[in-house]
Structure 1
Amino acid sequence: MGFSQGLSGLNASSQALDVVGNNIANSQTVGFKSGSVAFADVFAGSQVGMGVQVAGVNQNFSDGVLGAGSSALDMGIQGNGFFRMVTEAGRVFYSRNGQFQTDENGYVVNNQGMRLTGYMATGTPPAIQQGAPVGEIQIPTGQMPARASDAGSISGNLDSGNDVVSVTPFDPADGDSYTYSTQVNAYDSLGNEHAINVYYVKTADNQWTAYSVDSTSPGTQGSVNLTFDTSGKLTTNPADLPVSGAAYQGGAALNFNLDLSNLSQQASENTMDSPSTTGYPPGLMNGYTVGDNGQIIASYSNGESQLLGQVVLSNFTNPGGLQSAGNNCWTETPESGQPVIGIADTGNLGSLRGNMLEASNVDLSKEMVNMIVYQRNYQSNSQTIKTQSELLQTLVNLG
């Protein structure tokens, strides 16, 4: 019996040293979770005991320290959750390793070619639609299409001290027929830029008329009468200035309103804050970033940014029940329970940090101590076998 006890101790210590060695070997593996051996005694009807056995190897899913990543698609998780990935064959894996890049087809993949999953943005402008299916995240490589201007606004001040314009009718070519002018840029359906000139004509005290002229593709002039009270506050509601013009270089004619409701009239110079319109020209992708909520946002040469998709996380009732699959991945088992899928920082899911990576949670100093302890344990068990051997030899000599 002593031999079996010693052998079981040697075997258990050897397996424990294997776990320690694996932990130390993966101390620099991104997202690695350290393991620890659980021992159990063996009696099998004997009150003395038959030795020891390895009951299992438990994984420590505590967080590793976040450090700076080296790729725009690097991500790190803090708290509960795993990245959800699928192979081309459709098999699902889970990982804490956030080292991702794109493949030749634009899919976001890990180093083993597994595709990261999440929600893809759809619509104009792109957004994550409620109830969208979880699928493989693919980053488009084409240019961002142009968007026609469909709204705009101007804010500023009109000088109440200006003289009433006496030259009529209004003529944009005659500077004496208007008081002040400013320019707004807009874009048609093909991204052609249009210069919209806005002219202000003082017709009486506290009375103005605003005109719009598309100088790029002249068409119908739009106008709106503006009335201010004695405090300089605009009372016209709505103060919408129509903008229209002819079609230009294949693009559709502009047709939208400029909101002038933020204009005021005070005894100070004519000034207009930066006017704005919706719309933009086409643009080529400059790059992309991952936000702390898992949103992948692309930036383009036209100065615009666009949501491409959002990474999802998965969590389990019992993460310790996951089956290690190598390559720093796990697979679902009946013991782990069904995955709960959602966006970072919702429910019991942890947070996600873009351009960060989670380091291994291996504590090297602790592992070195464990290695010494298991080594001593191995030596002690070998000494048990040696002692049993000496006892048998003594019995043989008595015979």
Structure 2
Amino acid sequence: MAFNTALSGLHAASADLQTTGNNIANVNTIGFKKSRAEFADVYATSFFGSGTTTIGSGVRVTEIAQMFTQGNLEYTENVLDIAISGRGFFSLSDSPDTEPTAFTRNGAFQLDKDGYIVTDQGQYLFGWRKDFSQGALQVETNKGDPKASTDVNMNLNLDAAGTAPAVATFDPADPATYNKATSVTVYDSLGNPHSLTSYFVAKNPTTPNQWDVYQYLDGQPLDPAKNPVTLEFNTNGVLVSVDGNAGATKVSYAPHPITGADDLTITYDYAESTQFNTQFSVNALTQNGYPAGDFTGLEISDAGVLFARFSNGNAERLGQVALARFQNEQGLIKLGDTQWAESSVSGEKLLGAPGESNLGTVQSGALEASTVDLSEQLVRLIVAQQSYQANAESISTEDTIIQTLLNIR
């Protein structure tokens, strides 16, 4: 019986040594989670139960438990290196349109020839695509589409001391017929740039606190029917009406024909404009159009949203990484390559966006290091080795006792 007890101790110590050795071997493996051998004592039982003087029958390995603790983040310069901070796993599928079958904390991804985000084994990163359908995430590096300008926001100050020009008839080619001018570049539906110039003509002293605004696109009136539009301010320098509409701050111009492109329809917003007794100044002049752009890079937010950046300053949403969680992570099946599969013990996967549903966030340009503490594992290795030696000594001692008994005459 003592042989069996010591032998069970050898098996347990051997399992502990193997587990600790595997941890040490993976001290530099990205996304690796350390394990530990867990044991329980063994007692013989009968129909009548165990007595108070029952001697144990040894030890058994109950489980090689996985420790799903958070690893340190190691920062890289690769945007497709993604680390999870908190709970969750990356979901991996074997083809672009199938459900994920493997789950990992190793976020070292790359692009394949078709622009899909994949592991070094060619598995696809699963998430929500640009159209919000589920599937493999793909980075499209085509040119960014242009956007025609529709809104211009102007924040400027018109000098309250300004007076009407000496030459009454406005002529954009003659600076003597207007007080000030400013320009902004707008874009048509093809992304072609056009110069939109605003000319300001004071009506003071004939009509104090009023200014006529002429809008010219590439040297031609933007809208002849609204050329000019009158801005009116109160005695505090606050804009009170636009084109005779009290309380209005915006004016919409009729579609302007553009050769080879869609008509350009512009709305001006003067909400932030003032008339104070200071020099003319343009504090802000913005518009919402942009030309076609070349792909310049990829960005991934903490919420796992993928954005393509283009040379025109535009950003396009490409999709979002999906994280998976399980009711019982200890029940996951090890697949190797720091990957796991769900089982009946772990429960079914629950997909969610990073930062939601008790899931962690993601960090682009970082990888999660192994959770193995080398110092701790070396100590465990020594303890397991001593346990193995002690059980081996028990067998040797039992053998000596038996030999002694056999030698009795």
Query: TM over 0.5: same fold?
Result: yes
Kindly state the Cα deviation for residue 218 of structure 1 after the two structures are TM-superposed: 6.2
Matched, 1:287 2:297: yes
SS at match of 1:55: strand
**Contact 2:39 / 2:63 at 8 angstroms: preserved in 1?**
yes
Residue 217 of structure 1 deviates from its aligned partner by 7.0
Q: CA deviation at 1:166?
A: 5.0
Aligned to 1:246: 257
Residue in structure 2 matched with residue 74 of structure 1 by the alignment:
81
Equivalent in 97, 102, 113 of residue 93 of structure 1: 102
CA distance in 2, matches of 1:328, 1:309: 25
Query: What displacement does 1:42 show?
Result: 2.4
Stretch moving more, 237-246 or 159-168: 237-246
2:371: which partner in 1? 361
Corresponding residue for residue 60 of structure 1? 67
Counterpart of 1:148, as a letter, is A
Whether the 8 Å CA contact 2:156–2:274 is kept in 1: the answer is yes
Identify the match of residue 371 of structure 1 among 370, 378, 381: 381
Task: Quote the Cα distance in structure 2 between the aligned partners of 1:141 and 1:163.
Answer: 54
Q: Is contact 2:82-2:365 (8 Å) kept?
A: yes
The Cα of 1:264 is off from its aligned counterpart by: 0.7
1:339 aligns to 2:349 (yes or no):
yes
User: Aligned pair in 2 of structure 1 residues 205, 69: CA closer, same or farther (>3 Å)?
Assistant: same
Distance 1:77 1:91, change over 3 A: closer
Q: Match of 1:31, as an amino acid?
A: G
Q: Which amino acid aligns with 2:342?
A: E
For 2:360 and 2:223, locate their aligned partners in 1 and report how far apart those are by CA, in whole Å.
Answer: 57
1:183-332 pair list within 5 angstroms: 183-203=183-203, 204-215=207-218, 220-221=223-224, 222=226, 223-236=228-241, 237-243=247-253, 244-248=255-259, 250-332=260-342
Q: Which residue number corresponds to residue 122 of structure 2? A: 113
SS at match of 1:367: helix
1:126 corresponds in structure 2 to none
Relative to structure 1, the CA distance from residue 232 to residue 218 in structure 2 (aligned partners, 3 Å threshold; closer, same or farther) is closer
Correspondence for 1:128? none
* Structure 2 CA distance for aligned equivalents of residues 274 and 383 of structure 1: 86
Contact 2:70–2:86 at 8 Å: present in 1 too?
A: yes
How far apart are residue 120 of structure 1 and its match? 2.2
Residue aligned with 1:161, SS: coil
CA contact (8 A) 1:217 1:247 kept: no
Structure 2 residue 145 is the aligned partner of structure 1 residue 149: no
Q: For 1:61-85, what per-residue CA distance to the aligned partner results, in whole angstroms no more than 9, with x for missing partners?
A: 1111112124111121122111112
Equivalent position amino acid for 2:123 in 1: M
Structure 1 200/91 Cα, relative in aligned 2: closer, same or farther at 3 Å? closer
CA contact under 8 A between 2:100 and 2:126: conserved in structure 1?
no
> 2:349 and 2:202 mapped to 1: Cα distance?
68
Change (3 A) 1:86 1:217: farther
**Distance in 2 of aligned mates of 1:391 and 1:150:** 98
- Identity among equivalent positions (%) equals 37
1:175 maps to a residue whose letter is P
Cα distance in 2, alignment partners of residues 347 and 339 from structure 1:
13
Q: Tell me which amino acid in the other structure corresponds to 2:230.
A: N
Letter in 2 for 1:62: T
Paired AA for residue 209 in structure 1:
D
Structure 2 vs 1, CA of residues 217 and 301 (structure 1 numbering), >3 Å: closer, same or farther?
A: farther
Q: What count of residue pairs does the alignment treat as equivalent?
A: 389
Give the aligned residue type for 2:208.
D
Tell me the SS of whatever aligns to 2:102: strand
Q: State the TM-score, normalized to the length of structure 1.
A: 0.92
Give distance in 1, aligned partners of 2:310 and 2:180: 35
> What is the aligned partner in structure 2 of residue 129 from structure 1?
none
Amino acid at match of 1:32: F
Match of 2:91 in 1: 84
Q: Deviations over 1:40-65 (max 9, x none)?
A: 22234373233221111111111111
Gaps of 5+ in 1: 123-131
With the length of structure 2 as denominator, give the TM-score of the two structures: 0.90
Partner of 2:244: none
Q: 1:22 to 1:319 in 2, by over 3 A?
A: same
Q: Which amino acid aligns with 1:102?
A: L
Q: CA deviation at 1:381?
A: 1.0
| Structure 2 letter corresponding to 1:246 | P
| Cα 1:238/1:42, change in 2 over 3 Å | same
Alpha-carbon distance in 2 for matches of 1:318, 1:257: 57
Deviation string for 1:321-340 (max 9, x for gaps)? 11111110111111112222
Amino acid across the alignment from 1:210: V
SS of residue matched to 1:252: strand
- Contact 1:71–1:101 (CA under 8 A) maintained in structure 2: no
Tell me by how many angstroms 1:348 deviates.
Answer: 1.3
Deviation at 1:313, TM superposition (A): 1.5
Question: Which residue in 2 is equivalent to 1:127?
Answer: none
SS at match of 2:272: strand
**How well do the aligned residues superpose, as a CA RMSD in angstroms?**
1.9
| Separation (CA, whole Å) in 1 of partners of 2:145 and 2:187 | 12
In the other structure, the counterpart of 1:388 is: 398
Distance 2:359 2:389 in 1: 45
SS of the equivalent of 2:384 reads helix
CA contact under 8 A between 1:164 and 1:205: conserved in structure 2? no
Give the partner amino acid of 2:62.
Answer: A
Q: Which amino acid aligns with 1:235?
A: V
